[in-house]
Amino acid sequence: MISSRTGDSEPVLNLRGLFYGVKTNPIPKNQIDVIPQKTRYDNFKLLQDIQNVLQKCTHLTNRDKLNYCNTQRYFMKLYLREINKPE
Protein backbone atom coordinates (compact mmCIF):
# COMPACT_ATOMS: atom_id res chain seq x y z
CA MET A 1 0.00 0.00 0.00
CA ILE A 2 1.32 3.41 -0.93
CA SER A 3 0.94 6.16 1.58
CA SER A 4 1.90 9.79 1.35
CA ARG A 5 4.46 11.04 3.78
CA THR A 6 4.09 14.77 4.31
CA GLY A 7 7.39 14.98 6.13
CA ASP A 8 9.40 14.05 3.01
CA SER A 9 11.60 16.63 1.37
CA GLU A 10 9.56 16.44 -1.84
CA PRO A 11 5.90 17.32 -1.51
CA VAL A 12 3.29 14.97 -2.87
CA LEU A 13 2.01 16.33 -6.18
CA ASN A 14 -1.65 16.84 -6.80
CA LEU A 15 -1.89 14.85 -10.04
CA ARG A 16 -5.37 16.02 -10.81
CA GLY A 17 -4.05 19.56 -11.16
CA LEU A 18 -1.61 18.38 -13.80
CA PHE A 19 -4.29 17.13 -16.19
CA TYR A 20 -7.45 19.14 -15.62
CA GLY A 21 -7.83 22.67 -16.84
CA VAL A 22 -4.78 22.58 -19.11
CA LYS A 23 -5.37 23.94 -22.58
CA THR A 24 -3.51 22.22 -25.39
CA ASN A 25 -3.00 23.20 -28.97
CA PRO A 26 -4.29 20.71 -31.53
CA ILE A 27 -1.67 18.93 -33.62
CA PRO A 28 -1.86 19.86 -37.31
CA LYS A 29 -3.02 17.01 -39.57
CA ASN A 30 0.14 17.08 -41.68
CA GLN A 31 2.26 16.35 -38.59
CA ILE A 32 0.05 13.39 -37.68
CA ASP A 33 0.70 11.85 -41.11
CA VAL A 34 4.48 12.27 -40.75
CA ILE A 35 4.78 10.28 -37.51
CA PRO A 36 3.91 6.83 -39.01
CA GLN A 37 6.28 7.47 -41.93
CA LYS A 38 9.11 8.20 -39.50
CA THR A 39 8.30 5.04 -37.53
CA ARG A 40 8.43 2.98 -40.70
CA TYR A 41 11.73 4.50 -41.71
CA ASP A 42 13.26 4.04 -38.23
CA ASN A 43 12.23 0.37 -38.09
CA PHE A 44 13.55 -0.25 -41.59
CA LYS A 45 16.86 1.49 -40.80
CA LEU A 46 17.23 -0.61 -37.66
CA LEU A 47 16.55 -3.78 -39.66
CA GLN A 48 19.29 -2.81 -42.09
CA ASP A 49 21.73 -2.14 -39.24
CA ILE A 50 21.02 -5.51 -37.62
CA GLN A 51 21.44 -7.26 -40.98
CA ASN A 52 24.80 -5.53 -41.48
CA VAL A 53 25.98 -6.70 -38.08
CA LEU A 54 24.92 -10.27 -38.83
CA GLN A 55 26.68 -10.26 -42.19
CA LYS A 56 29.90 -8.44 -41.31
CA CYS A 57 30.75 -9.36 -37.74
CA THR A 58 32.61 -12.66 -37.77
CA HIS A 59 33.42 -12.66 -34.06
CA LEU A 60 29.80 -13.23 -32.97
CA THR A 61 29.01 -16.48 -31.21
CA ASN A 62 26.03 -18.56 -32.23
CA ARG A 63 24.16 -17.27 -29.18
CA ASP A 64 24.89 -13.67 -30.18
CA LYS A 65 23.68 -14.36 -33.71
CA LEU A 66 20.51 -15.91 -32.34
CA ASN A 67 19.88 -12.83 -30.18
CA TYR A 68 20.41 -10.54 -33.18
CA CYS A 69 18.07 -12.68 -35.29
CA ASN A 70 15.38 -12.55 -32.60
CA THR A 71 15.75 -8.79 -32.40
CA GLN A 72 15.60 -8.56 -36.18
CA ARG A 73 12.44 -10.65 -36.20
CA TYR A 74 10.82 -8.37 -33.64
CA PHE A 75 11.55 -5.21 -35.64
CA MET A 76 10.48 -6.90 -38.86
CA LYS A 77 7.08 -7.58 -37.29
CA LEU A 78 6.80 -3.94 -36.24
CA TYR A 79 7.80 -2.79 -39.70
CA LEU A 80 5.31 -5.08 -41.43
CA ARG A 81 2.51 -3.98 -39.10
CA GLU A 82 3.21 -0.36 -40.05
CA ILE A 83 3.34 -1.17 -43.77
CA ASN A 84 0.12 -3.21 -43.71
CA LYS A 85 -1.80 -0.80 -41.51
CA PRO A 86 -4.88 0.53 -43.33
CA GLU A 87 -4.77 4.26 -43.87
Give the pLDDT confidence of 33-81 residue by residue, as tens digits.
666 677 788 888 889 999 999 999 888 899 999 999 999 999 898 888 8
In-domain check, residue 4: no
Which residues 6+ apart lie within 8 Å of 44 measured at CB? 79
For residue 47, give its domain range. Answer: 26-84
pLDDT at 24 over 50: yes
* 52 occurs within a structural domain: yes
CA 42 to chain CA mean position, Å: 10
Residues in the chain, total: 87
CA distances from 49 to 43, 52, 58, 66 (A): 10, 5, 15, 15
- Burial (0-12, 13-18, 19+ Cβ within 10 Å), 27: exposed
Number of compact structural domains in the chain: 1
Q: Which among 81, 80, 43, 51 is positioned nearest to 68, based on CA atoms? A: 51
Q: Residue 56 falls within a domain, yes or no?
A: yes
What is the model's pTM?
A: 0.55
